[in-house]
């Protein structure tokens, strides 16, 4: 098979019938947002590169190693989005949503792209549900976001995961903590790449997954132990609101996540059944992101959930994602006149909101009934020339095998009422 006949490395195709489970998982993750006042937003798949380099952070692996960046024909540097928040914030600024009611509650879903080493649960093309609440700094809003993400997972039946929670401080306490961390890191045996990263953002070193680095970080100072009075009060309030909402969490003082813009509340959902790629979603507050992109100095909080990882988590727990929709009625026709009748009947039923399909390509009865069985339809209508002459069609209930003759004039209404 040639390269033009296969998807690029690290990407995939979604095909039926498995794609139905993807749609169901996506919709379950979105469902809590529709009850909480969040509106759908759509941004371009690519942005000016600076949107991500400034917003996500130069020290991150996302910006330094993983972005798909290219020059267009006008010489502009563009990048396929590696995440959604920076692009949504750009839209928030460009369209002056900050001048309207706040917080601006927004959600989106779609593909993002990162040049990573493909492995189980990690792709170069992946799908996220991304949620943002912009313009208001309120610990109750932080708790709402966390609870909505949790509700999405619970709605799918997931239970075998932990919500990890911490605070990364803000401009009032981060500088002092940074000095402590820089002093600590200066005494470690780190390679040059890690030291360069530490010079830009020393907190990123805490996110290093290499065992030899983690072993040296055992006694590293932690941000949560050096919060200012205000950020401590904010974090305490977030935890109180989460308790009031019935959301449980574990303290994760070393949680950094992979993006530079996080401040204050930071969280991650980690599934116990996924091995190395255990994160199924996460986010946090990003109080400086709007200003970094040239907008007003307003706060924001958001999260992203990986739809693909969530499906893997459901599989790890042995859960069947409930799939809605599908075919209700399948019409099998035998003969040209019966085919004309079948086409009209299918049109009538679809117009009445009944999911209906029929057979194409001149198959015989045996092949047509196989197609009907594969469709999963609850009822199969069989109509031939003799049936038309007799003014009836045969309706078979697939679950029981029962078959009855229904007058043609009553057929459409009878099938509609049975759905």
- Among 383, 387, 403, 385, CA closest to 333: 383
Count the neighbouring beta carbons within 10 Å of the beta carbon of residue 230: 13
Burial class (CB in 10 A: 0-12, 13-18, 19+), 225: exposed
Count the neighbouring beta carbons within 10 Å of the beta carbon of residue 398: 15
Q: What share of the chain is helix, strand, coil (3-state, %, to 5)?
A: 40, 20, 35
Count the neighbouring beta carbons within 10 Å of the beta carbon of residue 334: 20
Question: Known binder of ligand: residue 94?
Answer: no
**Is the Cβ–Cβ distance between 88 and 279 less than 8 Å?**
no
* Per-residue DSSP letter, 323: P
Question: Known binder of ligand: residue 235?
Answer: no
Question: Known binder of ligand: residue 84?
Answer: yes
Question: Known binder of ligand: residue 261?
Answer: yes
Q: Find the Cα–Cα–Cα–Cα dihedral 92, 93, 95, 96, rounded to 10°.
A: 100
Distances (CA, A) of 319 to 214, 243, 269, 390: 34, 27, 18, 48
370: Cβ contacts below 8 Å, ≥ 6 apart: none
Instruction: Check residue 376 and give left, alpha or beta (phi > 0: left; psi -120 to 50: alpha).
Output: left
Rounded CA-CA distance 184/195 in Å is 12
Question: Known binder of ligand: residue 126?
Answer: no
Question: Known binder of ligand: residue 81?
Answer: no
Question: Known binder of ligand: residue 85?
Answer: yes
* Per-residue DSSP letter, 66: I
Q: Residues annotated in the binding site, as ranges?
A: 83-85, 114, 128, 132, 257, 261-262
- Binding residue numbers for L-histidine: 83-85, 114, 128, 132, 257, 261-262
């Amino acid at each position: 098979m040639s390269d033009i006949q296969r998807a690029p490395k690290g990407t995939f195709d979604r095909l039926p019938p498995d794609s139905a489970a993807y749609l169901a998982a996506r919709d379950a993750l979105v469902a809590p947002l529709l009850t909480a006042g969040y509106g759908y937003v759509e941004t371009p798949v690519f942005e000016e590169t600076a949107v991500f380099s400034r917003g996500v952070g130069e020290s991150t692996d996302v910006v330094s190693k993983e972005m798909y960046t290219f020059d267009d024909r006008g010489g502009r540097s563009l990048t396929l989005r590696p995440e959604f928040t920076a692009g949504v914030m750009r839209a928030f600024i460009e369209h002056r949503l900050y001048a309207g009611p706040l917080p601006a509650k927004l959600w989106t879903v779609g593909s993002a792209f990162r040049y990573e080493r493909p492995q189980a649960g990690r792709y170069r093309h992946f799908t996220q549900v991304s949620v943002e609440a912009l313009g208001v700094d309120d610990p109750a809003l932080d708790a709402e976001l966390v609870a909505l993400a949790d509700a999405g997972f619970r709605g799918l039946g997931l239970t075998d995961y932990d919500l990890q929670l911490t605070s990364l401080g803000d401009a009032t306490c981060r500088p002092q903590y940074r000095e402590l961390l820089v002093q600590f890191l200066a005494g470690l045996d780190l390679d040059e790449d890690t030291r360069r990263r530490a010079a830009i953002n020393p907190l990123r070193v805490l996110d290093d997954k290499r065992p030899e680095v983690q072993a040296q970080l055992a006694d590293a100072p932690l941000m949560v132990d050096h919060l200012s009075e205000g950020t401590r009060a904010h974090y305490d309030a977030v935890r109180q609101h989460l308790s009031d909402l019935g959301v449980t969490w574990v303290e994760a003082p070393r949680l950094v996540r992979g993006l530079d813009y996080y401040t204050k509340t930071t969280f991650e959902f980690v599934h116990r059944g996924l091995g190395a790629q255990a994160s199924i979603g996460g986010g946090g507050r990003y109080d400086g992101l709007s200003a970094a992109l040239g907008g007003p100095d307003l706060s924001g909080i958001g999260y992203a959930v990986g739809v693909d990882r969530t499906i893997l988590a459901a599989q790890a727990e042995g859960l069947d994602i409930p799939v809605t929709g599908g075919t209700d009625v399948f019409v099998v026709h035998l003969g040209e006149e019966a085919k004309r009748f079948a086409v009209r009947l299918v049109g009538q039923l679809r117009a009445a909101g009944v999911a209906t399909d029929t057979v194409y390509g001149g198959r015989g009865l045996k092949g047509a009934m196989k197609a009907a069985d594969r469709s999963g339809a609850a009822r199969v209508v069989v109509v031939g020339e003799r049936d038309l002459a007799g003014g009836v069609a045969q309706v078979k209930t697939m679950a029981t095998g029962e078959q009855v003759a229904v007058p043609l004039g009553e057929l459409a209404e009878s099938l509609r009422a049975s759905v």
